[in-house]
Amino acid sequence: MAAPAAVAEARTRDAALDRIKTVVGPKGWIEGADAMRPYTEDWRGLYKGKARLVVKPATTEEVAGVVAICHEFGIPIVPQGGNTSLCGGSTPEDDGTAIILSLGRMHRVRNLDPANYTITVEAGCVLADVQNRAADADRYFPLSLAAEGSCMIGGNLSTNAGGTNVLKYGNARELVLGLEVVLPDGRIWNGLRGLRKDNTGYDLKQLFLGAEGTLGIITAAVLKLFPKPTDVRSAFCAVPDVASAVTLLGRARAESGDAVETFEFMPRLVVDLVLKHFPDTHDPIQTRYDQYVLLELVSTSSGESDLAAKLESILESAFEDGLVLDAAISQSEAQRQDFWKLRENASEAQKLEGASIKHDVSVPVSRIAEFYAAALKKVMAVDKTVRLVAFGHVGDGNLHYNLQAPEGSDGKAFLAQWERFNRVVHDTVVEMGGSISAEHGIGRLKREELAHYKDGVSLDLMRTVKAAIDPKGILNPGKVL
Ligand code: FAD
Ligand code: ZN
């Protein structure tokens, strides 16, 4: 028989959950392990957590009401957007004490101000919808990543997402002017201002950007918009090595008047995996090469565009100097999309191929070739049957330095070496002044790695901030710190 104290505690908890259900109404909650599964398991299938309840508030006031009850009763909250986190950030722990607070029902565009070049959206807006709403108003929201059809703005801002346009427009953090946040005690902080200049003390919104839901729940944001591109030209280029790719990037930036929007690196293996798992994809260049770059120039000028000529001249001189071995230039939007399918399906293709270990790392752009080679040597010393699938945003110094299990293996022996692979790759990153998480965040996956590599003063400051804002530790416990 349960002890009287435990019975009383369970009754209080059930009463708290009933109050939460009342706040959000009958459409605002989901119960039962099967119904909650899309929310309790992560995209990669690495984490299978448990939750008391999935709560789906429809307004900021409802979010505040739910959080206030959780604060009163010490109920942990896992904020969730599209649940596309690649590091277990949006999945609850296995102890089943937390509720998941999904922002999916908060998807209103509250305001679009073309003259101010801003859009004010709720946290549950899907990224692709924000891009489309901006485009309808002849404006451009540049944040772009392969998960854009399901990830949500609140999740993008909470992970300070990167993606394929960082080179020109910056990370998610740089695209935000204002935020509305529900604090761990249920108070609403209204920082929803569309100002490009505001020096009235601490920039509080920065606390919540990239905080992975550990300091507050983002409910809305004012985002920066840009002039809509009038011309985009893409080239799929074969390059002799990573060093040549970096040289090509530097030249393309200078020669195009800094019009490079995208510079994505892909080894042959990525192209092969995408061609294998996605039937509707094509090899842009008939000859096989060891590595490629997807280079894209963009113009926003309304006059006559000379972008095509610029791209051709950049590639011609690069070809003469041996920086490019071969290239296909897109002749239509359909062909451009064909290039993109190879890049955008890279993560999914890796997943379909079987077990993999991901390293989302960055080093200064100037050291990326050195890093690529040094880490490969160490990885091969651990296990030379592993397949290196290192692709990504070379223009930002960011590689997805992923390792794929040997072909045909069940992945068990490979995954057993997870920590050894992590150690050699992350040691190399840190030796070169890099970061062990460039854009995906820390979540649960890299919590121990963060503690291992981050200096004591930084960790101390982070813990101080967490304790000051969330003293009861109810927001996304067990993540980041
Ligand atoms: P979730 O996964 O739901 O949550 C992510 C984190 O934010 C969690 O810690 C969660 O608790 C917190 N959170 C979510 N919403 C809120 C909120 N409203 N308030 C407070 N905290 C919140 N990432 C990149 O940066 N660049 C890429 O190129 C990229 N490519 C990807 C490709 C694929 C195929 C996939 C599956 C993922 C990719 N990601 C990439 C990772 C992921 O999509 C991004 O991190 C995305 O920004 C997460 O958004 P989400 O809405 O799915 O957030
Ligand atoms: Zn990426």
Regarding whether 435 and 360 lie in a shared domain, the answer is yes
Residue 1 pLDDT exceeds 70: no
For residue 387, what is the enclosing H or E element? strand 387-391
Regarding whether 389 and 336 lie in a shared domain, the answer is no
Output the CA 26–ligand 1 centroid distance in Å.
Answer: 27
Lining ligand 1 with CB less than 6 A are 43, 78-86, 89-90, 103, 123, 145-147, 151-152, 154-156, 158-159, 161-163, 212-213, 217-218, 347-348, 439-440, 443, 476, 479
Q: How confident is the model at residue 2 (pLDDT cuts 50, 70, 90)?
A: low
Residues present in the chain in total: 481
Token pair in block for residue 111 = 């305001």
Does residue 423 form part of some domain? yes
Output the CA 154–ligand 1 centroid distance in Å.
Answer: 8
Q: How confident is the model at residue 13 (pLDDT cuts 50, 70, 90)?
A: confident
Q: Which atom of ligand 1 is nearest the CA belonging to 146?
A: 32
401 alpha carbon, closest ligand:
2
Mutate to test the pocket of ligand 1, among 44, 56, 80 (most ligand atoms within 8 A of CB): 80
pLDDT of residue 374: 97
Output the CA 238–ligand 1 centroid distance in Å.
Answer: 31
pLDDT of residue 11: 86
Regarding whether 223 and 114 lie in a shared domain, the answer is yes
Q: Which atom of ligand 1 is nearest the CA belonging to 441?
A: 45
Q: Whose CA is nearest to atom 53 of ligand 1?
A: 155
**Mean pLDDT over each residue of the chain, to the nearest integer:** 96
Pairing of strands 118-122, 109-113: antiparallel
Does residue 10 form part of some domain? no
CA torsion angle for 353, 357, 358, 362 (degrees, to 10)?
Answer: -130
Residue 305 pLDDT exceeds 80: no
Query: What is the domain extent for residue 68?
Result: 16-102
Tens-place pLDDT, residues 224-274: 999 999 999 999 999 999 999 999 999 999 999 999 999 999 999 999 999
Does residue 434 form part of some domain? yes
Which CATH number fits the domain that encloses residue 28?
A: 3.30.43.10
Averaged pLDDT, 294-306: 89
pLDDT of residue 179: 98
Token pair in block for residue 294 = 């997807």
pLDDT of residue 409: 87
Q: Whose CA is nearest to atom 26 of ligand 1?
A: 163
Contacting residues for 476 by C-beta, under 8 A, at least 6 apart: 76, 77, 78, 79, 89, 212, 213, 214
Residue 394 pLDDT exceeds 70: yes
Q: How confident is the model at residue 448 (pLDDT cuts 50, 70, 90)?
A: very high
Q: How confident is the model at residue 4 (pLDDT cuts 50, 70, 90)?
A: confident
Does residue 3 form part of some domain? no
List 28's β-bridge partners, or say none: none
Tens-place pLDDT, residues 171-218: 999 999 999 999 999 999 999 999 999 999 999 999 999 999 999 999
Token pair in block for residue 73 = 């009763």
Regarding whether 50 and 126 lie in a shared domain, the answer is no
Give me the amino acid identity at 359. Answer: H
Count of H helices and E strands in the chain? 17, 19
157 alpha carbon, closest ligand:
1
DSSP state of 367: G
What single string gives the DSSP state of each residue in 65-80? HHHHHHHHHT--EEEE
Residue 304 pLDDT exceeds 90: no
Regarding whether 331 and 430 lie in a shared domain, the answer is no
For residue 430, what is the enclosing H or E element? helix 418-431
Mutate to test the pocket of ligand 1, among 148, 158, 344 (most ligand atoms within 8 A of CB): 158
Q: Do residues 263 and 293 lie in contact, with contact meaning Cβ atoms separated by under 8 Å?
A: yes
Regarding whether 300 and 330 lie in a shared domain, the answer is yes
Quote the percentage of the chain above a pLDDT of 70: 100
Q: How confident is the model at residue 368 (pLDDT cuts 50, 70, 90)?
A: very high
Burial of 272 (0-12, 13-18, 19+ CB in 10 A): middle
Tens-place pLDDT, residues 230-239: 999 999 999 9
Regarding whether 335 and 255 lie in a shared domain, the answer is yes
Q: Which atom of ligand 1 is nearest the CA belonging to 158?
A: 7
Regarding whether 214 and 156 lie in a shared domain, the answer is yes
> Which stretches does DSSP call E strand in 158-309?
176-182, 188-191, 217-224, 226-227, 231-239, 260-267, 291-299
Q: Do residues 148 and 165 lie in contact, with contact meaning Cβ atoms separated by under 8 Å?
A: no
